[in-house]
Structure 1
Amino acid sequence: MLTRPMMLMMAVSLSGLLGFYLLFSTVPLYAASGGGGESGAGLSTGAMMLSTVLMELAVPWLLARLGYRAVMALGLVLLGLPALALPLSPALPLVAAVSLLRGGGLGVIVVTGTALTAELVPAERRGEGLGLYGIAVGIPSILGLPLGLWSAGTFGFTPVFLVAGLVPLVGLAAALGLPSTRPARSRGEGGAGLRGLTAPTLVFASVTVAVGVLVTFLPLAGSPELASVALLMQSLGTPAARWWAGRFGDRHGSARLLAPGVLAAAAGMALQVWLDGPVPVVAGMALFGAGFGVLQNATLAVMFERGSVSRVSAVWNLAFDAGMGVGATGFGLLAGHTGYPLGFALVAALVAATLPLTRQAALPPEPAPAGDAPLGKVGKAG
């Protein structure tokens, strides 16, 4: 599976996402320090996730016209250049504008990387291939989330912003070696295909809501130092669980992992109610990370059984980023009325409420409509 295009694609994704994760929890703190408060912190993440979702809707169209290489390069530029403007001011209008541009770059990178992975790996090992990709894109979160928070507290915000802006631009060298191919168009995939994606999408979206809440507000709810350790544990557990879930799914079926993933994520979220307890906070984030990683792979593999590469990649990443945006923005408004412990408990209940959907998501997929392009085939760039 580790072909040259696969290695280059993972290098591009790693550089882009490292720039993203360095600022994911740092920018909300920066916005709050500029007078934005909790609502400003939530808005900075929400604005980025909004533009991510909007761009993800456009990525299949861009891929069909420009090909993988050009679209990946566009994503790196959008993630890198705007971050270099952040040292100018912590004022909310500037932070929100930068977040909107960087969110567009994130949408490009995640949809294109997921789709290209599905194209490059053998169909019978797709779960493992997606797990391997998950490890590669998990490295930036392992390094970036805690390192961004620690560096901002130790050296100040400006050095973090400069590094986070330059790292994606370095990845342009690897992007030049990506295939210039573009996904083959699929025909006939209509409402039936979308209905088949609904249940796994909702299951996954519920846990990404929790992710948006945790990465934005866990540093604000308690000790930033404890939050850094807890987020590191989550970041370590997620890619490992995602890779394991891929190997298990290829052999035994990914659908049977959906319910355990939901239960682990809900339990881990519920443990965050004890904000001042290092053991429940860190152990809970490790458990949440494991459930999140399992659901990342299992929902994506189940969805690839039901739809074409570009559509599934776009829908799955929409669930990922829309959920994080809704979680960050909504919880920013909710926490002022409920406080953090009750708010975290309500988010845990939301994740657990999707458990009945895991049974529906595990049902065998409907036969593919006539005329659909086979998964894994790519058309040559014009």
Structure 2
Amino acid sequence: MTDDAKAFPRLALAGVFGGLFCGYLGLSAAIPVLPGYVRDEFGAGDLAVGLAVTATALTALLTRPVFGGLADRYGPRTVMRFGALAIAAGGLLYFLPAGLVWLIVVRLLLGVGEAALFVAGAVWTVTLAPHDRRGQVIGLYGVAMWGGISLGTALGAALRHFGIDAVWAFCAAAPLVGLALISTVAPQPRVEPTGGGRGLLLKPAVLPGLGLALGAAGYVGLAAFVISALQDRGIDSGVIVLSTFSAVYAGTRFVIGHLPDKLGPRRVASWCGAGEAAGLLIIAWAPNLPVAVAGAVVMGVGFSLLHPSLALMVMNNTDSAQQGAALGAYTSFWDLGLFVWGPATGAIAAGFGYPAVFVVAAVCACAASALAMTIRQAVTSEKAIDR
């Protein structure tokens, strides 16, 4: 084995990434079929559809910090395996025809599983990664998650043609494959936790978390309104803008995902917020599809590295025994941002028009950029570049 292979545990990370990917396959396969299932099976309306789809976010928001602390105390492998099992159990519970309330309960359980799976895997990833490549590896971990979401959604829609039971079976089976992959990785030594804040108020997570929540405004605005905004200007194929953003988001992490480690996370986070804002402003007033696509490219590059840069800042300012709790608290701000910006962008669009959605999101991205520059980084030889 080469020295590089020893320093960068590819097989271990492949097991963690593969477990996360399969877990999100199972989580996401239900998304495209839930709206029709809720309407057809229960005769329910849009409110029930929205609740069924988003219920996972509520329990994920509330439990991410909890599972981060448990990962610190009992090891990320144990917590991540629990998350995969909880998601698989949720897939099996879909089969029980117990009514709409039961379906919501199952979705809440799946949110618990998602929180455990994601946070524990993130802690494990940081533990496994070489110190000078942690930001890059955190970024690739996010690519594994988004890859699972994208493919799971497509597979769920395809499996619906074979009946709803085929979708539920896949939702149960995919996380079990993930469990097997997770189980191939040796557990990490545990570190006794020290005292500190709890929940969203764990101090090293608060400012980076607020930056992440501000950055989420752009993602919500793009996902919810870019197609309608472009159609309003007589521009078809707005889905190309979304696809471009997704491709650039993933590609950026593969090509320049090392920048937070090399140039310093604070500097890169600040640039990323500015880049996201620039892309949003381009989209806000794009006169044609090529310009809107260019805006998606600029936004995708900026938004892609914002999360790993802010996450690396959290890690740099957190004691090793509390990094799970800190990551859990930090990622909860993403869920909080989605909760806030979902209805807020809808109200902005209704009151001021679609361009205002992207302008407000750009202002939020600039605020995230400015906030990142205020976060003090611990002084070590590895972080001196960011001073």
TM (norm. structure 2) is: 0.76
Match in the other structure for 2:77: 69
Rg larger in structure: 2
Distance 1:228 1:44 in 2: 25
Match of 1:54 among 59, 62, 72: 62
Distance 1:254 1:227 in 2: 33
Paired letter, 2:336: A
SS of equivalent to 1:23: coil
Distance 2:216 2:148 in 1: 17
Q: What do you get for the CA RMSD once the two structures are aligned?
A: 3.9
Deviations 1:92-143 (A, max 9, x none): 4243222211111110111011111110111122122223323333321342
| Identity level (%) | 23
Distance 2:296 2:165 in 1: 29
Distance 1:273 1:14 in 2: 33
Distance 1:217 1:92 in 2: 29
Distance 1:274 1:37 in 2: 35
SS of equivalent to 1:362: helix
Match of 1:358 among 369, 378, 381: 369
The verdict on how the C-alpha distance between 1:358 and 1:214 changes in structure 2, with shifts beyond 3 A counting, is closer
The verdict on how the C-alpha distance between 1:348 and 1:179 changes in structure 2, with shifts beyond 3 A counting, is farther
**Residue 133 of structure 2 is aligned to residue 119 of structure 1:** no
Paired letter, 2:122: T
Match in the other structure for 2:330: 316
**Residue 22 of structure 2 is aligned to residue 15 of structure 1:** yes
Q: Greater shift after overlay, 290-299 or 152-161?
A: 152-161
Match in the other structure for 2:180: 173
Distance 2:144 2:311 in 1: 16
Aligned length: 362
Query: Any conservation in 2 of the 1:200–1:358 contact (CA below 8 Å)?
Result: no
Match in the other structure for 1:371: none
How far did residue 25 of structure 1 move?
5.0
**Residue 216 of structure 2 is aligned to residue 208 of structure 1:** yes
How far did residue 230 of structure 1 move?
5.0
Distance 2:207 2:116 in 1: 24
Give the 5 Å matches for 1:360-375.
360-363=371-374, 365=376, 367=378
Query: Any conservation in 1 of the 2:122–2:327 contact (CA below 8 Å)?
Result: yes
Give the 5 Å matches for 1:128-147.
128-145=136-153, 147=154
Q: Which runs of 5+ in 1 are unaligned?
A: 369-382
Query: Any conservation in 1 of the 2:135–2:312 contact (CA below 8 Å)?
Result: yes
How far did residue 65 of structure 1 move?
4.4
Distance 2:350 2:24 in 1: 31
Match in the other structure for 2:253: 242
**Residue 270 of structure 2 is aligned to residue 262 of structure 1:** no
TM (norm. structure 1) is: 0.77
Paired letter, 2:360: A
Deviations 1:138-165 (A, max 9, x none): 32134234x1575277666553343233
Query: Any conservation in 2 of the 1:41–1:216 contact (CA below 8 Å)?
Result: no
Query: Any conservation in 2 of the 1:51–1:101 contact (CA below 8 Å)?
Result: yes
Distance 1:120 1:52 in 2: 24
Deviations 1:26-52 (A, max 9, x none): 535644665544433432343210111
Distance 1:157 1:44 in 2: 16
How far did residue 200 of structure 1 move?
2.0
